[in-house]
Amino acid sequence: MLAGVKEITKDDLLEEVQKLAGENWRLISITGTDTGSGIDLIYHFDQELTLLNLRFQIDYGETIPSITPYYFCAFVPENELKDFLGVEVTNLPVDYQHLFIISELTPVKIPLLRKAAGDDAGEVKPE
Amino acid sequence: MIGKTVIPFGPQHAVFPEPFHWRLVMEEERVLDAIPGIGYMHRGIEQLATRMEFAKTLFLAERVCGICSFMHALAYAESLEKLMDVEVPPRAKYLRTIWAELARLQSHLLWIGLAADAFGFESLFMQAWRVREYVMDMVEFTEGGRVMTSSVTIGGVRRDLHEEAIEFLLENLDKLEVGFEEVYQVFTEDPLIKHRTVGVGILSKEDSIRLGAVGPTLRGSGVAQDMRMLGYAAYGELEFQPVVEDSCDSYARMVVRLKECFQSINLIRQAIKKLPDGDVLVKVRGKPEGEVVTRIEQPRGELLYYIKANGTKSLERFRIRTPTLSNLPPLMHMIKGACLADVPVITLSIDTCIACTER
Amino acid sequence: MFEMLNTILKNLFSGPVTRPYPAQRREPFASTRGQIKSVIENCIFCMRCQAACPANCIVVDRKEQTWSVDPYRCIVCGMCVEVCPTEAIIMNRHYRDPVKHREPIVKHQEGPIPKINPKAKGIN
């Protein structure tokens, strides 16, 4: 299993992040996974090569607070979450409106959601 | 009183080899605000990986980036080996180290050439790329391809180094060192290059950590953090120290890369000297299950792979966080307050690789 | 100043680093992966190359006794060469030549499928 995981809840997030920001941890990234019953979020932090993962689950369509007040750089992974998993983030300072990495021409909206993959989600044969 | 002007910079611009867009809010010559725009080449690799067989995904991961292809394959193989409890033979670990350092060398030399080109030093650009050709020859001789090397696989490596190849490596390393010394001298002594880079694009030590900078950008700001210290592949058995510069500007980031080239040459020599005998590949059976985070040091910085597998032939989640994505917020910070003419140099100083960023 | 003179003299008396390309070509190294070639006489139509190909560019038809590869989809990774039990696919070190039309390379085998013991090579 994943090392250095700390299970938290959505309400604790800002408090925990504020504590880490005070201790000079570096935000690596935020990973979101569609588990089938909701979205699993992992916030990766690093300090002197030690990895710390804050983890919590949310339901589809639930919003999460932005951690940009403590880590401005979080707007990049948060915009990614919006693009790929459709997670709405409140108080984003730089909001790309779902067009950070994917564009209007992308055929599948919110591509990493399971239901977006559709019924034909078998093995793909590249064209 | 002059109002604000918005200047679109890119996506097609002479200094960027890849489509990268800046929305620059200017007041006279100063940049007040800069917003990056990426997403011109999104290929959907993360989604494709969840529908392919995990063994074939290795080749997909390798194609995330055209310059650091080896690093992506290495990160993927290391992650799956952790998931499947595979112990890689020691010789394979050393070979991976040698090839990873060759990949770093060629990437840094490529950047050095591009940087020289951005300053307007055409002949220095050609000299840097002439030197790089020794590295490309070594890569092709030992791995079989110049860019897409396909030499790593889950459980080891696919090629072995024989006597002749080791001789070829050592011979070319000597030539490379002599040639690179000349380029290094120009970069560190030329007053024009210093004029373009010293004091430009300041990123303080506190800001670099707060904004999540990685790799040479972080080390150029005086933070000694190098993922190779984690000891993946054979790095744990080799002697090296992260290259750190304290001046926090574009020049520091450039010097970090230049010095890392010497460090890589040294690491390859050490690895060849210590190269153990034995097999290079173990057979891997079964399917991966569980989740893992792997961090390795790419030429541009820390690369994060998060892989979640559920015991089927495809992965459940394949997440790549490339170094450039992490270096974007520090870049925004550096550009604020800079002159318009400095924007290309500052943008180049983090060594942007947009292809990997967009996966 | 003298350093510059040194460089000028060195450049005057040493030849160019580059090659006059089309007239003089560098031989690819022995281990270079250039393109895959089929030795269809050895093929036993076991379909292993088709299953191993990450780019899905190889199509093997056992009934028709044909083996085809789409060279523009092939990524020259060498997996098919590794898994082939009878050395029916070999790696050629020369890169593929440019062509005017994209067409798959189809090889047809005449006569009965050869009986070659796959274990002879010791792979798989």
Over the stretch B75-123, which tens digit does the pLDDT of each residue have?
999 888 888 888 888 888 899 999 999 999 999 998 888 888 887 788 8
Whether ipTM tops 0.95, in short, is: no
Q: Given an 8 Å threshold on Cβ–Cβ distance, is C55 in contact with A126?
A: yes
B158 part of contact set with chain C, CB < 8 Å: yes
Burial of B339 by CB count in 10 Å (0-12 exposed, 13-18 middle, 19+ buried)?
A: middle
Cβ-contact B97, B233 below 8 angstroms: yes
CATH class of the structural domain B45-358: mainly alpha
Q: Calculate the alpha carbon distances from A97 to A21, A67, A102 in Å.
A: 27, 18, 10
What is residue C1's predicted lDDT score, i.e. its pLDDT? 61
CATH topology of domain A5-117: Beta Polymerase; domain 2 (3.30.460)
Which residue of chain C is at minimal alpha-carbon distance from B141? C29
Could you tell me which chains touch chain C, where touching means 3 or more CB pairs under 8 A? A, B
Tell me the mean pLDDT in the region B332-358: 83
Each domain of chain B, given as residue ranges in start order, spans 45-358
Q: Given an 8 Å threshold on Cβ–Cβ distance, is B42 in contact with A48?
A: no
Which residue of chain C is at minimal alpha-carbon distance from A124? C56
Q: Which of B35, B48, B210 sits opposite A94 (nearest CB)?
A: B35
Which residue of chain B is at minimal alpha-carbon distance from A70? B210
Tell me the mean pLDDT in the region C82-97: 85
Give the residue with greater pLDDT, A13 vs C122. Answer: A13
Top residue of B63, B140, B162 to mutate, by most chain C CBs within 10 Å, is B140
pLDDT tens for each residue of C5-58:
887 888 888 878 888 888 888 888 888 888 888 888 888 888 888 888 888 888
Name the amino acid, one letter, at A66. Answer: S
Percent of chain C surpassing pLDDT 70: 91
Question: Per CB distance under 8 Å, which residues of C are interface residues toward A?
Answer: 55-56, 73
B276 part of contact set with chain C, CB < 8 Å: no
**Number of residue pairs across A and C with CB atoms under 8 Å?**
4
Find the radius of gyration of the CA atoms of chain A.
16
Q: Given an 8 Å threshold on Cβ–Cβ distance, is A111 in contact with B47?
A: yes
Each domain of chain A, given as residue ranges in start order, spans 5-117
Q: Is B351 left (phi over 0), alpha (psi -120 to 50) or beta?
A: left
B73 pLDDT above the threshold of 80? yes
Q: Given an 8 Å threshold on Cβ–Cβ distance, is B316 in contact with A44?
A: no
Q: Given an 8 Å threshold on Cβ–Cβ distance, is B325 in contact with A53?
A: no
Q: Which of B51, B52, B329 sits opposite A73 (nearest CB)?
A: B329
Q: How far is A52 from chain B, CA to nearest CA, in Å?
A: 11
* Crossing angle of helices B90-119 and B250-274, rounded to 10°: 150
Q: Which of B58, B130, B144 sits opposite C32 (nearest CB)?
A: B144
Could you tell me which chains touch chain B, where touching means 3 or more CB pairs under 8 A? A, C
What is residue C118's predicted lDDT score, i.e. its pLDDT? 59
Those residues of chain A that have pLDDT short of 70 are 1, 115-127
What is residue C123's predicted lDDT score, i.e. its pLDDT? 44
Q: Which of C29, C33, C82 sits opposite B141 (nearest CB)?
A: C29
B160 pLDDT above the threshold of 70? yes
Strands (E), C1-124: 35-38, 58-61, 66-69, 89-92, 105-108
What is residue A127's predicted lDDT score, i.e. its pLDDT? 44
What is residue C124's predicted lDDT score, i.e. its pLDDT? 40
What is residue A121's predicted lDDT score, i.e. its pLDDT? 46
What is residue A103's predicted lDDT score, i.e. its pLDDT? 75
Question: Per CB distance under 8 Å, which residues of B are interface residues toward A?
Answer: 35, 38-40, 42, 44, 46-48, 51-53, 209-212, 225, 227, 229-230, 290-293, 295, 302, 304, 306, 308, 314, 316-317, 319, 321, 325-326, 328-330, 358
Mean residue pLDDT of chain B comes to 86
Find the radius of gyration of the CA atoms of chain C.
22
HEC letters along chain B: CCCCEEEEECCCCCCCCCCCEEEEEEECCEEEEEEEECCCCCCCHHHHHCCCCHHHHHHHHHCCCCCCHHHHHHHHHHHHHHHHCCCCCHHHHHHHHHHHHHHHHHHHHHHHHHHHHHHCCHHHHHHHHHHHHHHHHHHHHHHCCCCCCCCEECCEECCCCCHHHHHHHHHHHHHHHHHHHHHHHHHHHCHHHHHHHCCCCCCCHHHHHHCCCCCHHHHCCCCCCCHHHHCCCCHHHCCCCCCCCCCCCHHHHHHHHHHHHHHHHHHHHHHHHHCCCCCCECCCCCCCEEEEEEEEEECCEEEEEEEEEECCCCEEEEEEECHHHHHHHHHHHHHCCCEHHHHHHHHHHCCCCHHHHHC
Name which of A28-32, A98-102, B21-25, B258-262 the model is least confident about.
A98-102
pLDDT tens for each residue of B195-217:
888 888 888 888 888 888 888 88
Top residue of B45, B48, B56, B153 to mutate, by most chain C CBs within 10 Å, is B56
Q: Which of C29, C32, C78 sits opposite B150 (nearest CB)?
A: C78
CA atoms within 13 A on the CB side of A89: 29
What is residue B1's predicted lDDT score, i.e. its pLDDT? 55
Q: Which of B56, B59, B144 sits opposite C31 (nearest CB)?
A: B144
Domains and CATH numbers, chain C: 28-121 (3.30.70.3270)
Q: Which tokens in the block code for residue B144?
A: 């079989």
Which residue of chain A is at minimal alpha-carbon distance from C70? A127
Q: Name chain A contacts of C77, Cβ cutoff 8 Å.
A: none
Name the amino acid, one letter, at B95. Answer: L
Q: Given an 8 Å threshold on Cβ–Cβ distance, is A124 in contact with B230?
A: no
Percent of chain B surpassing pLDDT 70: 99
Q: Which of B230, B308, B321 sits opposite A33 (nearest CB)?
A: B308
